[in-house]
């Protein structure tokens, strides 16, 4: 049973460029969340996708956008990259439940360096 997978593992970009990160959820999961984790800090929630729509969003600018595909995989797009966007980007998947016990499982992350 494959867990959450992310690609690429590492990426180097320059300021102003655009980047796309990809995530495949754990088998059986239908919800994908994205987080940004700067060095030495806790993960910060970017947004969550369910049924191909953005359902919740954290405090991130519109430069951060995403997409979820019919097979539940997801992409995170960041436009006009800034040096401060350098971070580990984490994808987490879960199975949407009607109760409060939805558990998120994380992938290994994509390390983005903006020069």
**Cα dist. 42→17, 36, 80, 87, 90 in Å?**
25, 8, 24, 11, 11
CA torsion, ordered 85, 89, 95, 100, to nearest 10 deg: -60
Residues 30-69 that bind another protein (CB under 8 A): 33, 35, 41-45, 48, 56-59
Residue 16 C-beta: closest distance to another protein, Å: 27
Q: Of 7 and 18, which CB lies nearer to another protein in the complex structure?
A: 7
Number of residues that bind another protein (CB under 8 A): 27
Q: Of 42 and 84, which CB lies nearer to another protein in the complex structure?
A: 42
DSSP 3-state helix, strand, coil percentages of the chain (rounded to 5)?
A: 5, 50, 50
Binding site for another protein (CB under 8 A): 4, 33, 35, 41-45, 48, 56-59, 88, 90, 92, 100-109, 111
């Amino acid at each position: 049973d494959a867990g959450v997978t992310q690609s690429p593992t590492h990426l180097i970009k320059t300021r102003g460029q655009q980047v796309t990160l990809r995530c495949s959820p754990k088998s059986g999961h239908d919800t994908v969340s994205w987080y940004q984790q700067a060095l030495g800090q806790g993960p910060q929630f970017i947004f969550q996708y369910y049924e191909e729509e953005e359902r919740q969003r954290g405090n991130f600018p519109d430069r951060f956008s995403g997409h979820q595909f019919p097979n539940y995989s997801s992409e995170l797009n960041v436009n006009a990259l800034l040096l401060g966007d350098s971070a580990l980007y984490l994808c987490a998947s879960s199975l949407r439940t009607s109760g409060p016990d939805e558990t998120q499982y994380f992938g290994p992350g994509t390390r983005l360096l903006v020069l």
